[in-house]
A and B are shown apart, each in its own frame.
Chain A
């Protein structure tokens, strides 16, 4: 199982803050995970997760969408940060 978190505007648009899902062996990159999430949740997720400004972290480090993911990972999708 992988854990996926959604934050801020992305969480609100998707109406979900966290979920757990089993990654099939062919889902081995962030891009493949995004495709799986769109397949499972419907096309309304596509415009949210495919927006060019969306950032992804795997195990709490920001990575590129071509980076590997595997079961056991903690993945998070979020917009550019705006703290302070």
Chain B
């Protein structure tokens, strides 16, 4: 891995700006895969009830950055990655706002796609962030999902060192 940017921030980010920087800095990038997570109005665990009006995101300063660094390093051991950008927002975020961005560049698409998915799966289950969902008349801390744990576990089976 040539460069790694990790940012935990309250302010919004621009996907275009992040991609433009990744493209501008190096001429050997052949593939750039990105993922953006958004605040969804309907909560899967709570779909019969009220729509989500916002989420509140909290982290553990110091440890969360370390978690993300380790996840990026693990991805780098598995695929020939060039650059990684991970941005995660904290604080109160309204419906349709951007929560998280992961961008991975590589020479060819396979590594970029796979590493981007890998980083998101591990971010959801290993990085110290907590999410509270806020509706018009209630606040509820989101429970960890079994499907997210399974998504992380599947990478253990497909481990191939480059």
Contacts and interface: CB of A to CB of B under 8 A. Distances in A.
Interface of A: 5, 7-9, 12, 57, 60, 76, 78-84
Contacts of B145: 82
Nearest to B149: A80
12 contacts: A7-B60, A8-B58, A60-B62, A76-B60, A78-B60, A79-B130, A81-B127, A81-B128, A82-B143, A84-B99, A84-B120, A84-B129
A70 B58 CA distance: 27
A76 to B, nearest CB: 6
Contacts of B125: 81
Nearest to B55: A82
A82 B142 contact: yes
Given A8-B130, A57-B63, A84 B123 contact: yes
Contacts of A12: 141
A78 B100 contact: no
A25 B105 CA distance: 51
Interface in B49-79: 57-60, 62-63, 66
Contacts of A78: 60, 128, 130
B63 A60 contact: yes
Contacts of A84: 37, 88, 99-100, 120, 123-124, 127, 129
Nearest to B120: A84
Contacts of A57: 60, 63, 128
